[in-house]
Amino acid sequence: MFLGTYSPRMDAKGRIILPAKFREELSAGLVLTRGQERCLYVFPAAEFERIHERMRTAPLPGRAARDFLRVFLSGASDELPDKQGRITIPPILRQYAGLTDNLVVIGSGTRAEIWDAAAWEEYLARTEAEFAALDEDPFSPLL
């Protein structure tokens, strides 16, 4: 499971060092793809295969589902971390997510996410403010 928040830097070649706690789970390969809110999703290769198989066999009832599938898969990139735990983020994905050299990598359960640091801070501030405005904790029935 991917948990936590990390702040790696991206070098001039578009490489980042994966958080040490994520490396074992991603060592056999990973898939980077476009995520929501202009972040990148990082899936272990086996998890991405499972998701793709479910998408492939699911009925696609409308244009929105087909469009999502196209965007999700067309931006996907197979990567294999090197011995130092580095991966290269393809230019098309760096552009999509507006990545600068200051990044945030978060754990999000079955995947990790890569954010530009400024975009993450903006998202986090906005989302925390929305949560504070709620009358009750959305997870209270689960806790």
Bridge partners (DSSP) of residue 78 are: 31
pLDDT in tens, 123-143: 999 998 888 888 777 776 766
Residue 66 carries which DSSP code? H
pLDDT at 26 (0 to 100) = 98
pLDDT in tens, 5-52: 999 999 999 999 999 999 999 999 999 999 999 999 999 999 999 999
Model confidence, pTM: 0.91
Cα 19 from Cα 34, distance rounded (Å): 20
Residue 140 carries which DSSP code? T
CATH superfamily, domain 3-131, is: Transcriptional regulator MraZ domain (3.40.1550.20)
The two three-digit tokens of residue 113, written as one number: 């996410």
pLDDT at 58 (0 to 100) = 81
Residue type, 32: L
CA atoms within 13 A on the CB side of 38: 14
Cα 119 from Cα 104, distance rounded (Å): 9
Q: CB neighbours of 92 closer than 8 A, spacing ≥ 6?
A: 75
CA atoms within 13 A on the CB side of 46: 5
Give the start-to-end residue ranges of the domains of the chain. Answer: 3-131
Residue 83: exposure state from Cβ atoms within 10 A (0-12, 13-18, ≥19):
exposed
Q: Which segments of 1-143 does DSSP mark as H helices, in order?
A: 20-26, 45-57, 63-74, 91-97, 117-132
